[in-house]
A = this chain, B = another copy of it.
Amino acid sequence: MSVTAPLGVTAAGIAAGIKPDGVLDLALIVTDEPATAAAVFTTNLAAAAPVQLSRRHVSGGVARAVVLNSGCANAATGPSGDLVAIGTARAAAKVLGCKVTEVLVCSTGTIGDPLDGPTVAAGVGAASAQLERSPAAGKSAARAIMTTDSGPKETLVESGGFTVGGMAKGAGMIRPDMATMLAVIVTDAVASAEDLSEALRSATEVSFNCLDIDGCASTNDTVITVATGASGVTPDREALTSALTTAAKDLARQIAEDAEGASRLVTLHVKGAVDAAAAKVLGRAMCDSALVRSAFYGGDPNWGRLLSACGEAGIPFDPTEFSVSYQGVLVADEGISTGVDRADLRSTMETGDLDVVVGVGSGPGEATLLTTDLTPQYVEFNAEYS
């Protein structure tokens, strides 16, 4: 029970025929009454048609419905792609009896292929007839947004009288600024649009924006949050932020664990930077390095690659203060090797998740990033996606 767990919301996931073979490919989430809404979108300049539409619609701070489809990203589809996104919102507004601007739209799948408008509109109609407030309906919706995901991703957080439920998809192309991922987080808390927006931004910053799987940010990334207010409970901004953050972190971790072709999860802590932003840039530079992530795959404590990646990140730091620990074992300190036995260390790094701590100085800036190893399977997988 995830997006349908909070009061005041129903969902459906159906096979609309966007994907072949009757696979679930369209999700509809509808609130009983107009709800407070906020969203965070990709920063990619080539943002897809649904992103551009939803960005406009959510600016009003009110939503009744979210339509999400998999199987086609409706990105790089020109003016006809815009028409399909608008048509989808219109179809939902008509069948639900709400304003067009109260409908948000998300798409995910291959970029550059056209999305068939009538197919999606018909799917919206069919989905509206199956709306339910049940765990099964929530799971169907979560399944309908899957692309290369190995399973649906859901979360549930109970917090002092209100509930947060969420679903997400994403299994590759994940990086700071979100990459190919969609998430919808619903709460039955009472919240103003401003509080909700601030809480979402804060939650995203330490969850989805700390994922960095392959350095590729997508055209379609969207995180939407909707507050129905049906619980009657009005948390303060801190409590709201805390609950959204817990939900977002849980979904982000599921995405990282499901990264395409990854064999292990790597938690990279960066410490001692000038500030948190600098720590994040350095962390991303390391996570974006194919050499660094190949070494993670091999369980190779090749810390020089981490240093080299930081050295080209464009952030000033002192290489003589550089330190690295793998699994709690310090292999480099003050910029040079500690002389620890690498063979011993390697044996503790052979399998399982990795914990890497990188010190870049004595400043207060810290960041924690989630990434994965780069594997031969990743390459095979992404060689023939389209």
Give A residues with C-beta under 8 Å from B: 43-47, 73, 75-78, 80-81, 110-114, 172-173, 177, 214-219, 288-291, 294-295, 297-298, 300-305, 307-313, 316-317, 319-320, 322, 332, 334-337, 342, 374-386
Q: How many copies of the chain does the oligomer comprise?
A: 2
Known: A332-B76, A335-B78. A385 touches B312 (CB 8 A): no
Q: A45-B311, A316-B45 are in contact. Are A380 and B376 (CB under 8 A)?
A: yes
Name the residue of chain B whose CB is nearest to the CB of A316: B45
Residues B290 and A332 in contact, CB atoms below 8 Å apart: no
Query: Are A384 and B111 neighbours in the complex by a CB distance under 8 Å?
Result: no
Which one of B112, B216, B218, B375 lies within 8 Å of A336 (CB-CB)? B112
Residues of B within 8 A of A303 (CB): 76, 111-112
Least Cβ–Cβ distance between A277 and chain B, in angstroms: 16
Of the listed residues A376, A382, A385, the one surrounded by the most CB atoms of chain B closer than 10 A to its CB is A382
Residue of B nearest to A313 (CB): B45
A72 shortest CB reach to chain B, Å: 11
B298 touches A384 (CB 8 A): yes
Shortest A301–chain B CB gap in Å is 7
Rounded to whole angstroms, the CA-CA distance of A380 and B76 in the bound complex is: 34
Q: CB within 8 A of A307: which of B76, B177, B382? A: B76
Nearest-CB distance from A281 to chain B (Å)? 13
Chain B residue with the shortest CB-CB distance to A172? B291
Q: A110-B302, A342-B386 are in contact. Are A46 and B290 (CB under 8 A)?
A: no
Which single residue of chain B is at the shortest CB-CB distance from A336?
A: B78
Contact of A312 with B111 in the complex, beta carbons under 8 Å: no
Are B378 and A312 closer than 8 Å at their CB atoms?
no
Smallest beta-carbon distance A276→chain B, Å: 20
Instruction: Give the distance to chain B from A339, nearest Cβ to Cβ, in Å.
Output: 9
A291 to B173, Cβ gap below 8 A?
yes
User: What is the distance, in angstroms, from A331's C-beta to the closest C-beta of chain B?
Assistant: 8
Q: 15 A-B pairs, CB-CB below 8 angstroms? A: A45-B310, A46-B311, A76-B303, A76-B332, A110-B304, A111-B308, A112-B304, A112-B337, A216-B305, A217-B311, A219-B307, A294-B382, A295-B383, A295-B385, A376-B380
Q: A76 — which chain B residues lie within 8 A by C-beta? A: 303-304, 307, 319, 322, 332, 335-337
| Alpha-carbon distance A334/B78, docked complex (angstroms) | 8
Instruction: Take A291-B382, A308-B46, A379-B378 as given contacts and tell me if A332 and B297 are in contact as well, using a CB distance cutoff of 8 Å.
Output: no
Indicate if the CB atoms of B219 and A386 lie closer than 8 Å: no
CB of A319 within 8 A of CB of B375, answer no
Q: How far is the CB of A377 from chain B (nearest CB, A)?
A: 8
A383 contacts B114, C-beta separation under 8 Å:
no
CB contacts (< 8 Å) of A45 on chain B: these are 310-313, 316-317, 319
* Distance, CA A44 to CA B219, complexed state (A): 31
